[in-house]
Amino acid sequence: MVALTRVRVNGRAVRRHQFWVRHHKNSLEVTRFASRLVRMADPRIDPTVPPSGDGCVEYLASGGWWFHLRRCASCGHIGCCDSSPSQHASAHAKASGHTVIRSFEPGEDWFYDYETDEGMEGPALAPPEHHPLEQPTPGPAGKVPRDWQRHLH
């Protein structure tokens, strides 16, 4: 049986499927789909907020460099990954309480929750979904030291 109900997501009423399945051969797939719908309505994720820029906010201000970029799924803050020298994305999560991030790298659409230390699924976020393709990794161009690998965590 499939039923539609209304739930609130970021203050908006939306429809969500609820499934009651008994002894159905596709119950696992239905359960996974329903579970993904619930995660898509996660209050820690605001899919309408655009990213704060095209690079690590703190390093762009200070003239530093980063290895990979992460996007706060709540406020759009772009910070550098935990392999980068200053780990600004996880520092933002600790300071703000925004524990869910999404990769801000081209070709990656995974989410991660610092609180549970687990990957998770989430909805499409407001564009852009990654840093500019012409921006190198590590980046930004001209700021990365020659021995950058020695500075990674």
Taking the C-alpha atoms of residue 98 and residue 45, their distance in angstroms, rounded to an integer, is 9
Q: 97: phi > 0 → left, psi -120 to 50 → alpha, else beta; which? A: left
Q: Which amino acid is at 90?
A: S
Find out whether 76 and 103 touch, Cβ atoms under 8 Å: no
The pLDDT of residue 64 is above 90: yes
Domains of the chain: 2-40 (no CATH), 57-151 (3.30.40.10)
pLDDT classification of 41: cutoffs 50, 70, 90? confident
For all residues of the chain together, what is the average pLDDT? 83
For strands 69-72 and 12-19, give the pairing.
Answer: unpaired
Element spanning 36, H or E: helix 27-40
**DSSP reduced 3-state for 131:** coil
Mean pLDDT of 48-63: 96
Token pair, residue 55, equals: 């690079």
pLDDT classification of 99: cutoffs 50, 70, 90? very high
Find out whether 53 and 40 touch, Cβ atoms under 8 Å: no
Q: Express each pLDDT in 13-38 by its tens digit.
A: 444 433 333 344 555 555 555 555 55
Find out whether 113 and 100 touch, Cβ atoms under 8 Å: yes
For strands 111-113 and 2-9, give the pairing.
Answer: unpaired
The pLDDT of residue 137 is above 50: yes
